[in-house]
Amino acid sequence: MIKIQNEHLENLAQNHYRAITNYLSIKKIEKWNAQIKKDFSSEYNLEKLLLAKPHELRELKRIFKGNKEDYKIFKTYYNYLNSYINTKFFLLGNDGFSLAKFGAEASDSETKRVDYNAYKLVKDLNISTCPYCNRGTIYNLQKSKGRTSEIDHFYPKEKYPYFAISFYNLIPSCKVCNKLKMENEIEIHPYERGFENTNFKLKIKDSTFYHSVNGFDLEFKSEDKKTDNQIETFKLDDLYQNHKDIILELIQKEAIYNESYSDELLTQYEGTLFKNKEDLQRLISGGYVSDDEIGKRPLFKLVKDISEELRLI
Ligand SMILES: [Zn+2]
């Protein structure tokens, strides 16, 4: 629903790959390179599999001709990644790139080592809300044996064990979405796009809409099958019906802050209480307004879509 945005994504993916290969022996990496070439195509190897972008994951899924049982070990590697106690996964240099091999002589710059595990993966992505629902928060705390946040496998690891540790297959999500998705497959990959063209819409039912949530309906549908499938998988339509109280507040604000009152406030307070008109609009709608910021707060796509429909922003 919300696209995952991070300007350091490529570096984070590289860190992930290096941490995993640092854990594996050279002999094992060679073994996996040969296996992957055989099961996918000669142009692929472990590095390409772990760093495959969403469109490459689709391609790899299509061309796979091996035995998926052979890749079940990748699920074990994922468990290592998840566990705080498996220290061999932690050995990244302090710049995240120069690898300090376990037991090897480390130069001064490499002595301060950076931990790497699934907790760090989620932390570095710096996501505040679940990309699938924009309702649940990503609450990431380190525990003695792992972390509090969830990671969903975009392509389920039971069906596609060969993607179990691929960076772009690992999606931080809320508990509810992770549970609802389970083995279901969805098509809109949060590293590629969100629901930019699908908006929440109001349907006024009767004159009580100014003071009652029963006076209006909330609709969240699209003409696009992929989006509808995702709305259905995560029960987003039902889920958001529980938040009609927020919409009611926006409807009331729209009535209070009409154009003449907004102009009055601007004349009186521009430059003192708020910087400009955009700042006032931000204040009225209750938060962020730009597209790249809607993932920062829960329910903000809902607030943004309805605020736009009501011309609050
Ligand atoms: Zn969620």
In 3D space, the residue among 69, 10, 5 whose CA is nearest the CA of residue 35 turns out to be 69
- Is position 2 within any domain? no
Bridge partners, 139 (sequence order):
none
Task: Give residue 198 CA to ligand 1 midpoint distance, Å.
Answer: 17
Q: What is the pLDDT of residues 71-114, one digit of tens each?
A: 999 998 898 888 765 555 555 544 444 444 433 444 444 433 44
* 162/172 Cα distance (integer angstroms): 19
DSSP 254-271: HHHT-HHHHHHHHHHHBT
Neighbours of ion ligand 1 (CB under 5 A): 130, 132-133, 136, 174, 177
Amino acid occupying residue 45: N
Decide if 95 is inside a domain. yes
Query: Looking at the structure, do residues 41 and 78 belong to the same domain, yes or no?
Result: yes
Q: Answer whether residue 238 is part of any domain.
A: yes
Helix 9-23 and helix 73-82: axis angle, to 10°? Answer: 110
In the reported structure, the alpha carbon of residue 97 is separated from the centroid of ligand 1 by a whole-number distance in angstroms of 32
Ligand 1 geometric centre to CA of 178 (Å): 7
The reply to whether 210 and 305 lie within a common domain is yes
Centre of ligand 1 to C-alpha 173, Å, is 6
Same domain, 52 and 172: yes
Ligand 1 geometric centre to CA of 175 (Å): 7
> Which residue is associated with the tokens 């929440």?
200
Residue 134 CA to ligand 1 center (angstroms) comes to 6
Report the amino acid identity of residue 83.
Answer: S
How far apart are the CA of 132 and the centre of ligand 1, in A?
5
User: In this structure, are 124 and 211 located in the same domain?
Assistant: no
Tell me which amino acid residue 165 is: I
Residues 70 and 152 reside in one and the same domain: yes
For residues 138 and 149, what is the distance between their CA atoms, to the nearest angstrom?
Answer: 6
- Encode burial over 223-252: b for 16+ CB neighbours within 10 A, e otherwise: eeeebeebbebbebeebbeebbebbbebbe
Does 278 fall in a domain? yes
- The enclosing H or E element of 249 equals helix 244-256
Q: What is the mean pLDDT of each run of 10 residues along the chain (313 residues)?
A: 93 92 89 98 97 98 97 90 64 45 40 65 91 91 74 96 97 95 94 91 90 92 89 94 92 88 92 88 73 83 89 79
Give the torsion through C-alpha atoms of 16, 31, 91, 19, to 10 deg: 0
Distance 150 CA to ligand 1 centre (A): 10
**Domain span holding position 234:** 201-309
Ligand 1 centre from 53 Cα, in Å? Answer: 22
Q: How far is the CA of 194 from the centre of ligand 1 (A)?
A: 13
Residue 190 lies in a domain: no
If asked whether residues 49 and 138 sit together in one domain, one would say yes
Cα 39 to ligand 1 centroid, rounded to whole Å: 34
Per DSSP, 171 falls in state: E
Question: Do 205 and 175 reside in the same domain of the chain?
Answer: no
Give residue 72 CA to ligand 1 midpoint distance, Å: 27
145-170: b or e for each residue (b if 16 or more CB lie within 10 Å)?
Answer: ebbebbbbbbbbbeebbbbbbbbbbb
Distance 180 CA to ligand 1 centre (A): 9
Same domain, 76 and 151: yes
Assigned domain for 112 exists: yes
Last residue of a domain, one of 150, 181, 212: 181
Residues 251 and 167 in one domain: no
Are residues 168 and 208 both part of a single domain? no
How many A from CA of 177 to the centre of ligand 1? Answer: 4
Determine the pLDDT at residue 162. 98
Q: Is the dihedral of CA 87, 89, 95, 101 positive or negative?
A: positive
In a domain, 192, yes or no: no
Q: How far is the CA of 133 from the centre of ligand 1 (A)?
A: 4
CA of residue 301 to ligand 1 center, whole Å: 13
Cβ partners under 8 Å of residue 49, min gap 6:
36, 40, 60, 162, 163, 166
Closest to 62 (Cα-Cα) out of 195, 203, 163:
163
pLDDT at 80: 81
DSSP annotation string for 194-243: -STT---EEEE-SGGGGT-GGGEEEE---S-HHHHHHHHHTTHHHHHHTT
At residue 102, the pLDDT reads: 39
How many structural domains comprise the chain?
2
User: From the CB of residue 142, how many other CB atoms can be counted at a distance below 10 Å?
Assistant: 16
CA of 104 to the centre of ligand 1 (A): 42
pLDDT tens per residue, range 110-151: 433 446 888 889 989 999 999 999 999 888 877 766 677 889
Ligand 1 center–CA 189 separation, angstroms = 14
Last residue of a domain, one of 181, 216, 243: 181
Shared domain for 82 and 145, answered yes or no, is: yes
| 42 and 153 share one domain | yes
Residue 255 domain-assigned (yes or no) = yes
